[in-house]
Amino acid sequence: MWNLLVVEDEAIVRMGLRYMVDWEAQGVCWKAEASNGEEAVKVLEAEDIHIVMTDIRMPGMDGLDLGRYIREKHGGHIQVIYLSSYDDFPYVKEAIRLGALDYLHKPTMDEKEVTAALRKAIQLLEQSTARAPERKWSEDERNDWFVSLLDAYTYPQKMLLPELAEGQFNEGLWITAMRLRDDAADHMAAASARDHLKFMSIRYLIDEYVARDWGGIVFHRNHREILWLAPAKSKEGLEDHQSKEQYLDRLRSKVFELLNASIIYSCSSVYDDFRQIPEAYLEVELKFPVNQQSDSLHVRLAKEYVDNHLLEDITLMKVAESIPISSSYLSRIFLKEVGESFSDYVIRNKVIYAQKLLRETNKKIYEISEILSYTNPHYFSKLFKERTGMTPLEYRNR
């Protein structure tokens, strides 16, 4: 269906023209009307228009000025048909020079004449579409366009990308936002800030994972947040809240397993159409805790124990008894919520404290090992190198 804009300052002429032709039968949608050139320009900026039928003489910006604007901004992508009165013939020559497809005499035009002009316009549009290669979007352009959907003030006027017209969102949509945790794998969080490649690896993994099972569109916001615009139902028909939570938990585990990156997420309710994307994103942002944590009470208590007893020999059994819960349950929920095992969490925090001592004191390596309750300094050095890529001595002397 080709979209039509009619520009005519006389309302009675617009009305007569509207009911003169069966537009849909001609493959044309009467998309918009304007009473002068200025209004027409606003429509052209907001809507996807293919055919403009405009009066030559109008107050303000007339049809010839509008034709110049269209030729400059849109080239041959918009076909222009002029409407003229008997005394407009001096203007017709200029209209033809501007590339007018045809001109119709308002006092005598009839359905047959209008239809013939439309068919000529459609033929040229079809030829132009067949010749014109599909516009290639760079990855950054595509990403920025999707980011513009998140805010009502930047929401685009036109749905330009084909991903939104494929029908996968016909039953609704929801949004999930994913971020690196503040407290898990601090060295990874710092690396992602310095190195976009690491962040993009996470984004590509998520894209590949959801494309297989659920579909939708994955993009990012300022290399800090990964957004997944998802269809209401998965490819297997899953749609309830519990199914989504389970799926996102599996996704989070996969990211940690393959890239050693721990993420948290927040997801919205299901919304009916694209115009509600800003509302869905606002819901997502409001659901994120202020400190970007998503820990249950038991996990918070376990972390507090580690913080308060970091220089001791900490075991999962000791912490579980202090809460109290079973050690197997604590191990399971800790890995699920934090994204790393309890023992890895303890080791990482001990290494961070060791780095502080290496920077700020002159204590020997074996002394720092003893402070952290590692009786074997060689084992401590091995753990340190596994997590920092260098030995304690190399870290101090760098």
Domain limits at 37? 2-131
For residue 45, the domain's CATH number is 3.40.50.2300
Q: Which CATH number does the domain housing residue 218 bear?
A: 3.30.70.270
Contact yes or no for 160/48 (Cβ under 8 A): no
Does residue 292 sit within a domain? no
Same-domain pairing of 78 and 96: yes
Is 226 in a helix, a strand, or coil? strand
Boundary residue ending a domain (113, 131, 149): 131
Contact 145, 219 (CB under 8 A): no
Q: Are residues 8 and 79 in the same domain?
A: yes
Site of tokens 């998140």: 150
* Residues 237 and 160 reside in one and the same domain: yes
Question: pTM score > 0.75 for this model?
Answer: no
Helix (H) or strand (E) holding 382: helix 377-388
The answer as to whether 92 is a domain residue is yes
The CA–CA distances, whole Å, from 141 to 123, 206, 287 equal: 31, 20, 28
User: Residue 123: how many CA atoms within 13 Å on its side-chain side?
Assistant: 7
Domain end, chosen from 268, 287, 306, is at 287
Q: Which tokens sit at 177? A: 């936002």
On whether residue 377 sits in a domain, the answer given is: yes
Q: Are residues 146 and 279 in the same domain?
A: yes
Contact 117, 101 (CB under 8 A): yes
Does 145 lie in the same domain as 283? Answer: yes
Q: Say if 352 falls within a structural domain.
A: yes
Q: Is 282 inside any structural domain? A: yes
350 lies in the same domain as 255:
no
Measured distance CA(289)–CA(311) in Å, rounded = 30
In a domain, 43, yes or no: yes
pLDDT of residue 246: 84
Strand boundaries in the chain, DSSP class E? 2-7, 28-34, 51-55, 79-84, 102-105, 173-180, 217-221, 225-231, 263-267
Rounded CA-CA distance 54/103 in Å is 9
Q: Where are the alpha helices (DSSP H) in 175-295?
A: 186-194, 196-213, 241-259, 277-287
Which residue's entry shows tokens 């516009």?
135
Residues 188 and 221 in one domain: yes
Element (H, E) at 39: helix 37-46
What is the phi/psi pair of residue 152, to 5°?
A: -60, -30
Tell me the C-alpha distance between 315 and 220, whole Å. Answer: 39
Q: 259: burial class by Cβ within 10 Å (0-12, 13-18, 19+)?
A: middle
What phi, psi does 2 have (nearest 5°)? -95, 135
Which value, to the nearest 10 degrees, does the dihedral of the CA atoms of residues 80, 81, 83, 88 take? 70
Query: What CATH number does residue 319 fall under?
Result: 1.10.10.60
How far is Cα 171 from Cα 185, in angstroms, rounded to an integer?
A: 38
Q: Do residues 81 and 52 lie in contact, with contact meaning Cβ atoms separated by under 8 Å?
A: yes
Asked, for residue 63, whether it belongs to a domain, the answer is: yes
Which pLDDT value is given to residue 374? 93
Cα 330 from Cα 354, distance rounded (Å): 26
What SS3 class is residue 103?
Answer: strand
**8 A C-beta contact, residue 262 and residue 339:** yes
Same domain, 237 and 261: yes
Rounded distance, CA 66 to CA 37, Å?
Answer: 6
Q: Quick one: pLDDT at residue 193?
A: 45
Answer yes or no: do 69 and 114 share one domain: yes
Amino acid at 228: W
Degrees to nearest 5, angle at CA 236 with 286 and 246: 40
Q: What is the pLDDT of residue 76?
A: 66
Q: For 263-320, give the DSSP string.
A: EEEEE---BSSGGGHHHHHHHHHHHS-TTS----HHHHHHHHHHHHTTTS---HHHHH
Same domain, 11 and 116: yes
In sign, the C-alpha dihedral spanning 108, 112, 114, 116 is negative
* Same domain, yes or no: 309 and 353: yes
Rounded (5°) CA angle 6-12-14: 10
The domain boundary, picked from 267, 287, 307, lies at 287
Side-chain-side CA neighbours of 327 within 13 Å: the count stands at: 9
Instruction: Report, as ranges of residue numbers, the positions in the chain whose pLDDT lies below 70.
Output: 75-76, 86-102, 129-136, 158-163, 165-166, 182-196, 239, 241, 289-296
pLDDT for the residue numbered 152: 82
- Whether 143 and 276 share a structural domain: yes
Count of domains observed in the chain:
3
